[in-house]
A = this chain, B = another copy of it.
Amino acid sequence: MQTHQTYLEANRERFLAELIEWLKIPSVSTDESKKADVRRAAEFLRNKLLEAGADTAELCETAGHPIVYGEKIIDKNLPTVLVYGHYDVQPADPYELWDSPPFEPVIKKTALHPQGAIFARGACDDKGQTYMHVKALEMMLKTNSLPCNIKFMVEGEEECGSGNLEPFIKQNKERLQADVILISDTGIIANDIPSVEIGLRGLCYVEVEVTGPNRDLHSGVYGGAVANPINVLCQMIASLKDEKGRITIPHFYDKVQELSAEERAEMAKTPFDLETYKKDLGIDDVAGEDGYSTIERTSIRPTLDVNGIWGGYIQAGAKTVLPSKAFAKISMRLVPHQHPDEIAELFEQHFRAIAPKSVKVDVRFHHGGFPYVMPTNSIEYQAANLALEETFGKKPIPTRGGGSIPIVALFEKELGLKSVLLGFGLDSDAIHSPNEHYGIFNFFKGIETIPLFYKHYIRLKNNA
């Protein structure tokens, strides 16, 4: 019987070619004009699950983009792992900053990826990482080594808030029954430093609108006497943080869990070089909340970032307009035990409270997600730990990520299941940015590691 290694060698090129086909489909879930492409991406995945050997695989309709569900049940008495991923991708703009078109994947070697990396929107987040699970399933089935039941639930709305996932889960609790969730939508510290994400930040995303006069005005005739909504919005946004980099929204930090000195000392051991970090980003200095390290600022501390701002005349040339409106998209990353809905309410109350009488403000809540932490003494964490140690040849480091996967908290709430974050990306993969890419080393390392997680998980569970 073939080993995983020999099967992988024999099918390496095909696996890459299939992923590249998938990446060519611009499944941008926030873009209405891409609706048909999003669906094509879902159909592609369904077909590949069936080809891999799943018993069933289908598109489940939702109020938005479909959810791809598939399963391989080998024995009802064996444990079941539910794999979650998403086939939708971030918008690719600004297009002009891509070295190659975002939906025309190319393989290029880089300093960090001497074996080459696939450059395309979604290469890492999350098509590339999701596809590792499809190929791992195929490999285990073709080599008769699948030790448990596997279910796949891959959504098409992760990049726009997973709004239709909760109703789907509530309606399909029976079908989604499992023992653990396995997700590859995170990263490792480096290709020679394996790590497991044991924490995630939550998210609260709002959009604000500030209205001054009821029409655009001539800045000469009215300037100086009528509040300019852009100037006001800037003042309001600036006031959301104090000189220590702390968020000024009343009660914002009330539920934030402070880590112990021991926990912070443990975190401080994570390999990190500030100079390399600054050099990679082209910045002369980092900036953030006083009293916390860069690693802490991006993991155990909440944030407030303006993700977009616009108002007035923003085309070439000059227009002396005092505009009627100004807008901003603002998101806050949350940490245990902040509640996205509570934070949204605190934000709105405060934002309305600080608005001067000369303007009107509107606040719209886009979407949110809960923060999450995985206990390191759990079987789930141990299994991931051992699998990585086996493929990388060294002990992985537990880390806490700054991103958000709202689904993780949702799973715990609705299905009572823990999620294992077995991701293989690198911070340098430029997800959500131009020139997103995913290392070929990482892609195949993932396909190798996933079956080992199953092996150790089943063993530990049987011994438990």
Contact = CB atoms under 8 A, between A and B. Distances in A.
Interface in A130-172: 159-161
A323 to B, nearest CB: 7
A271 interface: no
Contact of A307 (B94, B219, B430): B219
A27 to B, nearest CB: 14
Contacts of A94: 216
Given A287-B356, A357-B285, A312 B317 contact: no
Interface residues of A, number: 100
A303 interface: yes
Contacts of A333: 219-220, 223-224
B329 A307 contact: no
A207 B203 CA distance: 33
Interface in A38-91: 90-91
Contact of A218 (B234, B286, B302, B433): B433
A111 interface: no
Interface stretch (A3-11, A255-263, A293-301, A390-398): A293-301
Given A90-B319, A309-B326, A303 B233 contact: no
Interface in A184-218: 201, 203, 205, 207, 212-218
Nearest to A359: B283
B215 A97 contact: yes
A441 interface: no
- SS class, residues of chain A in contact with chain B: loop
A322 interface: yes
Contact of A321 (B283, B298, B307, B314): B307
A216 B434 contact: yes
Given A30-B319, A309-B310, A402 B357 contact: no
A449 interface: no
A264 interface: no
A464 interface: no
The 8 closest A-B pairs by CB, nearest first: A220-B403, A214-B282, A30-B317, A308-B312, A238-B238, A224-B303, A230-B306, A287-B358
Given A224-B333, A227-B283, A309-B311, 17 more contacts: A214-B281, A216-B432, A220-B402, A222-B281, A224-B288, A224-B305, A225-B297, A227-B287, A228-B306, A230-B307, A230-B328, A231-B237, A233-B234, A283-B359, A286-B358, A308-B314, A309-B310
18 contacts: A30-B316, A30-B318, A93-B315, A205-B320, A215-B433, A221-B431, A222-B298, A223-B305, A223-B331, A226-B288, A227-B286, A228-B305, A230-B237, A230-B309, A287-B356, A307-B319, A308-B311, A308-B313
